[in-house]
A and B are shown apart, each in its own frame.
Chain A
Amino acid sequence: MSATARRVRPSRTAGETGGAKRPGRTRGAGLGLLAWVLGVLFFLPIAWMALTSFHSEADAATNPPSFAAALTLDGYRDFFGVGGGASPWPALINSAVASIASTLLVLILSFPAAYALSINRVRKWTDVLFFFLSTKMLPAVAGLLPIYLFAKNVGMLDNIWLLVILYTSMNLPIAVWMMQSFLAEVPVEVIEAARVDGARLPTVLTRVVAPIALPGIAATSLICFIFSWNELLFARVLTGVAAETAPVFLTGFITSQGLFLAKVCAASLVVSLPVLAAGFAAQDKLVQGLSLGAVK
């Protein structure tokens, strides 16, 4: 007993003197702890949302909150309309179609454009880049009315393909900026070599540039997907029953409907899942996309 105690003691004093020598260490640990506390605090609403989504409606609406209530899938069953009520599937599918189709269209348009802005550069390429950026700074709401009137006249209201076109225009500037910064990193020698071998532009783009820039292209797609999936204003104004997207479906929860917290939480979580997944997958490139390529 005493032997072990004696063996422990010296190491402990060594630790203490070490700490005294470097006062920064305890402060460093304190700051690390503070970072953890703040991280958990920021995440708390999401954790609480997830927990509440697995509670019964009665347990979800208690004050003080019931943390350890029994878990159930009723909130999810209710949201997916198992016991009657509107099914969210059409809205989720519409969102998926609008997001995926617009992202593909963005890639098709932005990839060659980025080539002309980073590898085989057009004259005044920086001006062109800044034109793309400036369109992003024009508030979407300013063009909403003419787009609505146009859609009404050509019969494209409540049509998911109208949203595909609008979301493409919303994301194209971001994609062009991100892509050009990724393509600028492709070594020119590789492209020159392919050219010398007689490869034409489409071949160069798909066979040489695309494989090298693949991680960047993937990150660009994920960010475009997120912005399309999140969009509410255009979807709210331009769609009705047929082309309603997931965020529009969520607006049905704005007014309280009695005990519905678990259902709201389940709905919010299900609709956010694709974005959370895409965001974590693109974590490292997220800041580059959000800052329109200005920050790496």
Chain B
Amino acid sequence: MTATTAAPVAASPAHNVKQPSARLRAWATRAPLLPALIFMIAVTQLPFVATLVISFFDWNALYPKAREFTGVDNYQQVLTDADLRHSVWTTILLTVAVVLVSLVLGLALALLLDRKFPGRGVVRTLLIAPFLVVPVAAALLWKHVLYNPEYGLLNGLLHYVGGPQPDWISNTPLLAVEASLVWQWTPFMMLILLAGLQSRDHQQMEAARVDGASNWQIFVYLTLPHLRRYLELGALLGSIYIVQNFDAVFTITSGGLGTANLPYTVYQSFYQAHENGLASAAGVLVVIGSLIIATFALRVVSSLFREEVSRA
């Protein structure tokens, strides 16, 4: 089966070269791909090039005539601006905290769900649900329904045990944003890690058990090494999404109380302050940050992908 499916695929490029109309054939093969490829280049790559160009200009949309080339001035300004530097720090804190906590919680939940117990499907569905609430709606839910100091659910429940009645968002603004994001992203991590757990080699585990390995030993020496790449994948994909997070920051704190992350700052500097050049420079910095994560992410995806291809 594997041989028959692999053979024609491997042979086709060779055919193309031999025949006289090889170039025509190569284009015929490429044709179905081109619309998608051209669309992507036009819509995602061109704007970024434009951002790069604008980032070298001093350009406030309110004074369009004063636009001039300033070289790396915007970058200097971005990197020395206290607010912007703070937003870089906030982005890192937010991303690292949310990714780590949801990864650990996701792993615990995935391990629990990997066992058979009555109602496992129902529990899985309950756990996925937070990820399927529209992000703005989830942020509103946390802001008004859970965190509200007067009638939110958290203080309501604390009331029963005679606990304090803190103003969650004012006291710990960043933590408040992080908790809501952890709630939404833990299911994502759980799903990826559960898929990882279920792709373990059960024969190997059975053999280890027969040889007298304890559950803990199996977890440390077989499960964790196998899960490593799934953990990496979850962490990296989670980072890519959470570095870009806008909804939670915008909704819960409106970027106030020191919670403005880079996407929010970029949004604010051009949408409210109309500083096109500065916003672009900040945008380019976000891209550079993401590219560093993306390089690692692509490596992990490609190693998983190669494995899938060779297994198929």
Residues of B within 8 A of A (CB): 4-5, 8-9, 12-13, 26, 29-33, 35-37, 39-40, 43-48, 50-51, 54, 108-109, 112-113, 115, 117-120, 122-138, 140-146, 148, 150-151, 153, 155-157, 159-160, 165, 183, 186-188, 191-192, 194-196, 199, 230, 233, 237, 240, 243-244, 246-247, 250-251, 254, 262-263, 266-267, 270-271, 276, 279-280, 283-284, 286-287, 290-291, 293-294, 297-298, 300-302, 304-305, 308, 312
Contact = CB atoms under 8 A, between A and B. Distances in A.
B112 A128 contact: no
Residue from B128, B183, B266 whose CB has the most chain A CB atoms within 10 Å: B128
B117 A31 contact: yes
B298 to A, nearest CB: 6
B35 to A, nearest CB: 5
Contacts of B305: 126, 129, 293-294
Given A45-B146, A135-B45, A192 B8 contact: yes
A259 to B, nearest CB: 9
A52 B258 CA distance: 31
A137 interface: yes
Contacts of A43: 126-127, 129-130
B244 A42 contact: no
Interface in A33-92: 34-36, 38-40, 42-43, 45-46, 48-49, 52, 60-65
A253 B144 contact: yes
A295 B120 CA distance: 21
Contacts of B233: 291, 294-295
B286 A142 contact: yes
A144 B115 contact: no
Given A145-B276, A295-B304, A232 B250 contact: yes
Contacts of B26: 122-123
B127 A139 contact: no
Given A31-B117, A169-B40, 7 more contacts: A39-B123, A112-B36, A141-B263, A143-B44, A146-B50, A261-B145, A261-B151
A112 B165 CA distance: 58
Contacts of B191: 286-287, 290
A227 to B, nearest CB: 11
Contacts of A230: 134-136
Contact of A271 (B134, B145, B286): B134
Name the residue among A144, A149, A279 with the largest chain B CB count within 10 angstroms: A144
Interface string A108-152: 011011011101111100101111111111111111111111100
A190 B273 CA distance: 59
